[in-house]
Structure 1
């Protein structure tokens, strides 16, 4: 049985920020979300550089090479950030999260660094398949996904200890997954997950049949919650089909779309 993905991507500036520092890509074999940081221009450059670098992976990669190919691509993207920082001192503080999935049929390589998130809806249950690289998670891994109380835990939830920023030793979490028909994957920046709770995300993913409709609803909910940050989502549904015959144009959203 041939397996492929039906995908959509969306990004919104939110209700507070003056620019969109998120970038995302959705194609037949690659989906990715990057949340940039580091000043007005730095975040845009960081996220769009990484997403632009990864785009070449949206091709037919042998199953046995999935993890190595994705790992190499992330390292190459991080090297491009290093070069950009050296050429432009005003970008010295820039960095970006990255959550990306590279597909070959039902086989997936997942790379993750930072606090953007990956979720899986399978058989009526929602699972978070990434671990936030925040000080809150590092110091208290059993703290759960409840709302912040506005105190020290809230502050630590925004402090990242791992991002892509052009420096050495910026390896992502990298592992293999197996997809099943009917799976729905969501990658998102913390502009969504920091505002919309997991139960609401579950309800939207369960109720909306079309990926684009689910993304539109999730973004609207994040804006209703105040939209304090940029909001970016990619959804991929695992369906029967041949990627070579069902390929369509990829979707690029956020800062990467402008570059």
Structure 2
């Protein structure tokens, strides 16, 4: 059975920010979300540079090793950030998260760094398929290994502090792995502007209720705004379907800062 993805992307500035530092992309072989940081212009430049670089993967060219190809593309994007930082000292603090999936039929490579998230809706259950690279998660993991209980006040204080991002510096390695998609799977990639104010149960309810990816994205963005919209909100959804179900080719979609670059 031949499978493909049906996809949509959306981004919103939110209710509290003056500009959109998120970028997103959805195409036939690549979906990705990047949440930029580092000042008024820095976040926009970082996320749009990375998404702009990764878009070259969204071709019909054959790739024998999806994970290797995606990992190499992320490294190349990080190198472009290094070049930008050298040319623009005012952007020395910029960086971005990245969660991306690179498809070939039912095989898909996943790359993740930072605290944007990937979710999988499969057989009526919602799974988070990425781990936040935040200091509180790191402290929790270290405490668990040592058989200890971390200080709740300390972990709460560090819940938004990232210890891994793409910022043009060396040794910025994402989590990389290969997954097998199944017919009927629905994948959601999103920035923390969605996963922060909208809880997992509500995300599950929307993903199960809204059949069309674009409708689900619109609903999720509105829920984040209704919850105060404290940050930029970006989401990409990919549904795994039979190739025969896709009668028209959907053009690739670029959203957020990358759409303005």
What's the TM-score, normalizing by structure 2?
Answer: 0.93
| Superposed CA offset, 1:185-215 (max 9, x none) | 0000000001100000000000000000100
The SS at the match of 1:28 is coil
Q: CA deviation at 1:141?
A: 3.8
- What pairs with 1:76-225 in structure 2 (closer than 5 Å)? 76-141=76-141, 151-225=153-227
Out of 229, 232, 251, the residue aligned to residue 231 of structure 2 is 229
Provide closer, same or farther for how the CA distance between residues 171 and 243 of structure 1 changes in structure 2, counting only shifts above 3 A: farther
Would you say the 8 A contact 2:63–2:69 is kept in 1? no
Q: CA deviation at 1:249?
A: 1.0
Cα distance in 1 for partners of 2:140, 2:233 equals 26
Cα distance in 2 for partners of 1:7, 1:58 equals 13
Aligned length, in residue pairs:
253
Q: CA deviation at 1:84?
A: 0.2
Q: CA deviation at 1:152?
A: 3.6
Aligned residue in 2 for 1:147: none
Would you say the 8 A contact 2:12–2:20 is kept in 1? yes
Cα distance in 2 for partners of 1:244, 1:36 equals 33
| Superposed CA offset, 1:206-229 (max 9, x none) | 000000010011001101111000
Would you say the 8 A contact 1:60–1:104 is kept in 2? no
Would you say the 8 A contact 1:24–1:51 is kept in 2? yes
Q: CA deviation at 1:93?
A: 0.1
Provide closer, same or farther for how the CA distance between residues 170 and 243 of structure 1 changes in structure 2, counting only shifts above 3 A: farther
Q: CA deviation at 1:154?
A: 3.0
What's the TM-score, normalizing by structure 1?
Answer: 0.94
Provide closer, same or farther for how the CA distance between residues 155 and 56 of structure 1 changes in structure 2, counting only shifts above 3 A: same
Runs of 4+ in 1 over 4 A off after TM superposition: 242-246
